[in-house]
Structure formats: structure tokens, C-alpha cells
Amino acid sequence: MSEPDGEHVGPYRLLSTLGSGGFGEVHLALDPEGRTVAVKLLHPHVAADAQALTRLEREVETMRLVEGPYVAEVLDASLAGDRPYLVTRYVQGRPLSVVPVPVADLRRLARGLAQALLAMHEAGVVHRDLKPANVMMADGDPVVIDFGIASALDSLSVTASGAVIGTPGYLAPEVLEGHEAGAPADVFSFAATLAYAATGRQPYGTGPLSAVAYRVVHHEADLEGVPAWLEPLLGDCLLQDPEARPTAAQICAVLAADAPARGRHGVTGAGTARRRSALGQDQEAALLEASSGRGAGRGGFFWVGRRSGTGPAHPGEPDVHGLSTREWRPGRDGHVRTVEESRALHREKVRRRWVIGSGVFAALLAAAARTPLPEVSLFLLASYALVVVADAAVALLSRGLFKVRRMVTDLTSVAGVAVLWLALSALFSPFTLALFAGTALVVGVVFLLNA
């Protein structure tokens, strides 16, 4: 199934393989506008299952409604032909399953996962396979990947072909017993994942899959070591009865409240795993605020919006092949840069780095030559200033997108080099400055060669 670098799948150019799972192989790729995305190529035995593909095709449009900073949004899909694939936002990070545990900022992880759960359930999507391996940690924030795929591909032929639908220890007991996986099953998986992140242990132990599944159905999770503010909530989420578990909105309300999570009878600590949670007054107010669509941000609630203009051309016929990708900008509804704007911004960044870097090097050389060769010192400064001022003049006459920024950078650099030249001359000897300049030159050459 692996594709060599540079291959194209539809309009996407594959760059490198990121990993492989039960349903497909994930590649880092570029979309037609040069943005990085993750392309999941379905395994041959999955692609050969017409029933599974039909079900997935029906679910794609719903999956595209899931948006937010804590989910890897589905951007595109093509389920026809020999190589069906899904395209999602590329998340640069590491899975929760391989980062050091217990997680340091557990509150941040819990709130992010809860909001991801709320985003999925508000859109009518059940993840079905939420576990540490499907939670990417990106700069300390969790991002849930692969939502809806396990649920859509849950068919006997796919399972018989080798794909494992879910992971015992994170699957809810009703799913292990053969019942349908709904939103409460995701709540169970959410709690099991957080228990692992809080303790570094599998919540239902290790061993053969059948033994782990038996513990899930007949025993309570191992929550020893879970912080007191979180243990009651996890106990409520891990209840055997799906109807007794809190909803994603209730979980968000509990975690958003400043007070520690409380069980149904206000009991904290062990023994709360069989008690259903009840919200306090402050938590109920927070929940009402969430349900009214107010509040946004990483530390609280966000409202899951619906994109206008989506949907099939004809009722009952999902149109997933003509979907276009777009730049994903969490928490913003502002202007999306065009390709030309993105290229201009990149050129401006490169130019600014050269201006600043060459200015520092010129100041070092000029300061080193100030005492033994004052004429050379002034010549270096004047040459740098002349080139940069000329560049500022070109920016003034141009119609570039960033001409004001370019002029400010140029003029500030000239003044900064003069100040740096005076400071270095006063603080260091010419010999020391010459060593600095030589070192900077070597580092610059090595950097260019590596680049």
C-alpha cells in the first residue's frame, strides 16, 4: 500500500509515510495550494468492501461538520477508484500513547478532549475508537484524529479482513457485548484515555485481549493515582450503564468549573465509579451558557458551527469527490490567504531574516575593524546601510503586499546595526570580535548547506 515520495493521489502529492493503522496508511502530503495535509489511503481489504465504503461515503459529509481546535477536521475524500482516501488536517505532534505519562498538564488535556467530544457529538458523529493512539499532542493541546472512521467501517467483512474495530480497555462494555456504539461509548473511552494519561497505566490492565475485555464488562477501572478533582468524573463516565454516564456537554461544564468535580452524592475518592454525577449550581450555569452558544476559547466552551453550502447535489447521494480543501485556522473566521499572498509572506520572512542576519554579521566585522582599520569599519557600515536603504526605496515604489513592513524592517535594521556596532566596540576587544565574526560565518555556512 505504501506510496513512494512524490506520488500523487488525486490532487495531493504524497511526501512521506506518517504511519499505518487498521484501516489505512497515513501520508504527509501537499494539497494543490501547497498546504500540508494528512492523506489516509485505505488498505486494499478495506477498499474491496463495497458495503463499508458505501457506509463511509454516507458518513463523510457528517464528519466534515466536526470543527474545532481539538479535532483533526476532515477536508476531503475520494472513495471511488482503486485507491480510496480521506484527507484531514495535518497535526504536527506525537500520539498520547508515546508521550511521557502521567501528563503534566492534565487539566488542559481533559478540557481539550472534552471539547473534542462535544464537537463530534454536536455534529452527530461517534468516534468509536477514542484511545491514546488517536489523540495527538500538539504543543500541549490534544487533537483527536480518525473520528467516525471506525464507526463507519464497522462491518463483518472489514473485521474479518484484519482491521480491529476498537481497542479493548478503551471500548465501552456495551460495545464489547455487541450493542450499538453511541455517544455514551465515546464518554467511556474518553474517561479510560484520561485515566491512562493521569496514571500511566492501562485502566483495565494488560494481557490477552479477551482478559482485558472481561475486566471492562465485569470489573471497575483502576483509578488509583488519579487526582481527586478528576477521579469522581472519570468514575461517572466509566459506569456500566450507558444512560447513567454524563454527556459531553456536562463533562465540559464540570471541567470548566473552578471547583473540583463532585459525584452524585458529593463524595470524592474511591467508590464513586457507580454513582452518577449531578451538576452544582455553578456547573449548571456553565452548561446553560454552553448550550446557548456563548463562550469560546481554549479554556472554556466553543460552539460547533455548520458550514453553509455543504451537502449532496441530490438527496441521498453524498457528493464527496468534488470537495475542496481549505486552510484550517482554529478559532478564526477571517480572511484565508490566497496562494500568492502566502508566497509573498514567505518571501518577506526570508528577506527579513537575511537583512537582520547580514546586519549582525556586518556589525561584528565593523566592530572588529574599528580600532586597527577604522576606514574598513566605516566602509562596511556604509555599504550595509546603502544596500538596505536602497531596498527600502524599492519597497516604497513597489505595490507589494508587505511594503510598509519591509520599509520598517530595513530602516530599523540600519539603526540597530549602528547601535550594535558601537556597543560591541565598547565591550569587546578586536580579537574577540574577530572570533565572534568567524564563528558566525562558519555557523551561517553550515546552516545554508543543511538547508
Rounded to whole angstroms, what are the CA distances from 377 to 14, 425, 432, 438, 440? 51, 11, 16, 16, 18
Conformation bin of residue 212: beta by default, left when phi > 0, alpha when psi is -120 to 50: alpha
Using CA atoms, how far apart are residues 343 and 111, in angstroms rounded to an integer?
36
Task: Residue 33: name the closest of 342, 346, 335, 329 by CA.
Answer: 342
Using CA atoms, how far apart are residues 305 and 191, in angstroms rounded to an integer?
26
**One-letter amino acid for residue 208 of the chain:** P
Q: Does 40 show up as a binding residue in the annotation?
A: yes
DSSP string for residues in 163-192: ---S-TTTS-HHHHTTPPP-HHHHHHHHHH
DSSP string for residues in 350-390: HHHHHHHHHHHHHHHHHHHHTTT-HHHHHHHHHHHHHHHHH
The answer to whether 129 is a known catalytic residue is: yes
DSSP string for residues in 41-108: EEPHHHHT-HHHHHHHHHHHHHHTT--STTB--EEEEE-SSSS-EEEEE---SEETTTS-SS-S-HHH
Task: Residue 39: name the closest of 2, 14, 73 by CA.
Answer: 14
Q: Please count the CA atoms within 13 angstroms of the CA of 278 that sit on its side-chain side.
A: 7
Do residues 368 and 380 lie in contact, with contact meaning Cβ atoms separated by under 8 Å?
A: no
Lookup: cell for 164:
480491529
CA distance between the termini of the chain: 31
Lookup: cell for 146:
480518525
Do residues 255 and 117 lie in contact, with contact meaning Cβ atoms separated by under 8 Å?
A: no
The active-site residue, picked from 129, 141, 186, 410, is 129
Residues in binding site for ATP? 40
Q: Which residues are catalytic?
A: 129
